[in-house]
Amino acid sequence: MIILRHLLAAFAVLIGMASSAFAGVYEDALPKFAADSYAETDAAISAVAGSGHPLSLKVVEAVRDGRLLVSSGQIIIREPSGNLISAVTGQAFGPTPSGLKPVRINNRVRRAIEAALGSLTLLSSDPAARLQAARAVFRSRDETALPNLETAITQETDANVKGALQIARAAVLLGASGTSTADRLKAVEALQARGDQDALALLSTLPVGVQPEVADAAGKAVESIRSRLAFWNALQNVWYGISLGSVLLLAAIGLAITFGTMGVINMAHGEMVMLGAYTTFVVQEAIRTYAPELFGISLFLSLPLAFVVAGAVGILIERTVIRFLYGRPLETLLATWGLSLILQQTVRTIFGPTNREVGTPAWMSGALEIGGLSLTYNRIAIVIFAFAAFATLLLVMRYTSLGLYMRAVTQNRRMAGSMGIRTNRIDALAFGLGSGVAGIAGVALSQIDNVSPNLGQSYIIDSFMVVVFGGVGNLWGTLVGAMTLGIANKFLEPYAGAVLGKIVLLVAIILFIQRRPRGLFALRGRAVEA
């Protein structure tokens, strides 16, 4: 039995040698895809990419998309159109064979694909593809791509792509063995000009046996990049702070009305945020089913609905529970806390306890790179949205009759009543407004947090903290409070860690409230009179 196996193995070797004698690198590499081993697939991809065979790009793309199929040793490409072609000849494949299985990929194979596509698409006619290829080569630093890279640089017309190609060339040259001192120095210079985290990594891990001049220049370059990055880092922290602050602001402005101006300790505020998030989920589900082409604007469609749903629930709560409890803060606290549990469990019963998927529209994915800053689009959108919501609310309070009545009732309820304002109705509307604003905050927060029945709980403490810190009854105070807390948190986090940072902040607020019990901006209101 063992002898037989040896014989078979010997035969296999013989056949392999025979075929390699007649066929090229490409044909030799293909059978490795059938081995169902990541190491073999990895090797096959590098070989195919380096073979120069006209089908090689098709094969690599097919592996990436799971369209390279194997059936009893035959390698078949399924074209994006669905047609099957043979990977060996490129001819249409006859009847569909049984037991077609795609070649499996893992991270190692994905990296090989990325590198292979990089060197294969450097000369593509599409500038976007070339740019991506240049970045892929920069990451893989594959020496075999160098000739292609040189050709691409001389042919390139797009300045942006050319820059990326030159950086990629510098990265390859710096690491390649046998690069001259002059070339290496130029590479160091190019990388220093790029000056980002990746360049820093390349410059600080030079290959062994590098020329001393180069090591010297690289050392200096590392120093200059470090100081540059430290500056951008501080800016980045400010941005993180603003973005956290705008999340806090969104969560808190609704509460600034219900708690801030009306004085209702509303523990169910977080659940209004949650209702807004679930409204977004329902809207998106409806859009997915009935009008998928509207998905890009699903969030805009959700905004008015979330406002109405959360606002309506808010008015219902005010009319049925809270209005009987004005002036009794402890009872209000307990009643609204109970309401928050009821709302949570209701949502859990209707939608189930697991997270619901709220999709991110394409225009909110990815990041914008400015200098050393990386601003993610979803955070930018949330910052803009938070400020817009704040401005709108400010205008409503300042320039509409509802705003005027609300301020009047807050400042002096009896006088406002004597002037003919129906204070009861204003109470309900104000509570509805605060809840509605919490609802639209839920639309925004569904983009960065879980949409689960517990969504609101994680924001309630932070919201109260912001409102109390900023000064009860003042919208500007809420804005300044949210931004201060956000930025302070983000500057503490790198040094103290997320857990300790939060504790430090809480202690600071407690001390601050001791000194100024009414927060940053104190205002007269019903809460103050009480």
Partner 1 sequence: MSVWNLTRRNMLALAAAALVSGGAVGSATAQETIKVGVLHSLSGTMAISETTLKDVMLMLIEEQNRKGGLLGKKLEAVVVDPASNWPLFAEKARELISNEKVAAVFGCWTSVSRKSVLPVFKELNSILFYPVQYEGEESERNVFYTGAAPNQQAIPAVDYLAKEENVERWVLAGTDYVYPRTTNKILEAYLKSKGVKSEDIMINYTPFGHSDWQTIVADIKKFGSAGKKTAVVSTINGDANVPFYKELANQGVKATDIPVVAFSVGEEELAGIDTKPLVGHLAAWNYFQSIDNADNKAFIEKWKAFTKNDKRVTNDPMEAHVVGFNMWVKAVEKAGTTDPDKVIDAIVGVQVPNLTGGVSEMLPNHHITKPVFIGEIKDDGQFDVVWETEGLVPGDAWSKFLDGSKDLIADWKTLKCGNYNTVTRKCGA
Residue 382 or residue 527: which is nearer to partner 1 going by CB?
Answer: 382
Helix (H) or strand (E) holding 223, with range, is helix 212-255
| Contact (CB, 8 A) for 87 and 71 | no
Should residue 351 be labelled a site residue for partner 1 when binding is judged by CB under 8 A? no
Q: What is the DSSP letter of 99?
A: S
- 509 closest CA partner among 455, 458, 449, 468: 468
Instruction: Report the nearest approach of partner 1 to the CB of residue 243 (Å).
Output: 7
Cα–Cα dist 397/400, whole Å: 6
Binding mask 208-247 for partner 1 (x = CB under 8 A): ----------------------------xx--x--xx--x
Give the Å distances, CA to CA, from 2 to 13, 16, 312, 344, 416. Answer: 17, 21, 80, 68, 101
Phi and psi, residue 213, nearest 5°: -60, -40
Instruction: Report the nearest approach of partner 1 to the CB of residue 189 (Å).
Output: 20
Read off the tokens for 385: 């949205």
Residue 48 or residue 358: which is nearer to partner 1 going by CB?
Answer: 358
Three-state SS at 74: strand
Q: Which 287-346 positions form the footprint of partner 1 (CB under 8 A)? A: 344-345
Should residue 20 be labelled a site residue for partner 1 when binding is judged by CB under 8 A? no
Cα–Cα dist 298/25, whole Å: 51
Should residue 490 be labelled a site residue for partner 1 when binding is judged by CB under 8 A? yes
Residue from 348, 407, 413, 518 touching partner 1 (CB under 8 A): that is 348
- In sequence order, which residues have a C-beta less than 8 Å from that of residue 340 and are 6 or more positions away? 267, 268, 270, 271, 456, 457, 460
Residue from 60, 70, 202, 265 touching partner 1 (CB under 8 A): that is 202
Should residue 355 be labelled a site residue for partner 1 when binding is judged by CB under 8 A? yes
- DSSP of 403-438, one letter per residue? HHHHHHHHH-HHHHHHTT--HHHHHHHHHHHHHHHH
Cα–Cα dist 272/306, whole Å: 9
Pairing relationship of beta strands 68-71 and 74-78 according to DSSP bridges: antiparallel
Stretch that binds partner 1, among 121-129, 141-149, 196-204, 389-397 (CB under 8 A): 196-204
Residue 359 or residue 403: which is nearer to partner 1 going by CB?
Answer: 359
Instruction: Report the nearest approach of partner 1 to the CB of residue 221 (Å).
Output: 15
Instruction: Report the nearest approach of partner 1 to the CB of residue 310 (Å).
Output: 20
Stretch that binds partner 1, among 13-21, 217-225, 260-268, 491-499 (CB under 8 A): 491-499
Q: Which 407-466 positions form the footprint of partner 1 (CB under 8 A)? A: 447-454, 457-458
Residue from 90, 497, 516, 517 touching partner 1 (CB under 8 A): that is 497
- Residues contributing to the site for partner 1 (CB under 8 A): 38, 104, 106-108, 110-111, 114, 139, 197-198, 200-202, 204-205, 236-237, 240, 243-244, 247, 344-345, 348, 352-357, 359-360, 365-367, 374, 376-379, 447-454, 457-458, 489-490, 493-494, 497-499, 502
